[in-house]
Copies of this chain bind each other. A is one copy, B any other.
Amino acid sequence: MSIRLYGYWRSSASYRVRIALHLKDIPFEHQSVHLVRDGGEQHLRSYQGLNPSALVPTLVDEDEDIILNQSLAIIEYLDEKYDTGPALLPEHKLQRARVRALAYDVAADIQPLANLRVLQYLEREFDADAEGKAVWARYWIEKGFTGIEKRLQTTAGKYCFGFDLTLVDVCLVPQVYNALRFGVDMADYPLIQRIAENCNKLEAFSRAAPENQPDAQ
């Protein structure tokens, strides 16, 4: 198999790439990088050779001799390389721009704020307890979802953009999974909730779900 994905079952960014790989029906080998055990396997020298940022995911494509980090760069790469499955970035430049913007609303303005390394810092440096960390995570998720819910009022159909699956759905579903972990009340975001439910009925999304990964605990 030419594609190897280094990821972690509960990492949002790894989850996005798994969804894209399954939607596009691309076979891949899963390599677990345990983000917690022994202080985090992402800090091992062997992994840092692949990804000096010590973050997941990293995708290795042996056919092309490329090692790639950053989930969104990986997904655009896969979408450009493989014409199987849905085109996750639309053909038309205006629509493509709108899709990218909404994907970044999740991937740049929500997810980086509520991920493991940030919560660990809050605990270490600001004595945040479990509830303090959850309050922080909910704050940024809810702020982001409020804006996204408004934008979806003009774009949503069965999925975020009408009836075509896009990069936005691929980003949104892992963020909803994460929101539920922190106790966000999804009833406040009916469009996001409905779209996530529609996506989760698809086999590609359920195969990519954290609980269905070999390294799930």
Contacts and interface: CB of A to CB of B under 8 A. Distances in A.
A132 B93 CA distance: 43
Contacts of A147: 51-54
B68 A105 contact: no
Q: Chain A's interface: helix, strand, loop or mixed, by majority? A: helix
A107 to B, nearest CB: 6
Contacts of A112: 108-109, 112-113
A146 B55 CA distance: 13
Nearest to A97: B77
Interface in A79-126: 80-81, 93-94, 96-98, 100-101, 104-105, 107-109, 111-113, 118, 121-122, 125-126
Copy number of this protein in the oligomer? 2
A64 interface: yes
A139 interface: yes
A134 interface: no
Contacts of A101: 68-70, 73-74
A118 B113 CA distance: 9
A190 B122 CA distance: 30
B104 A52 contact: no
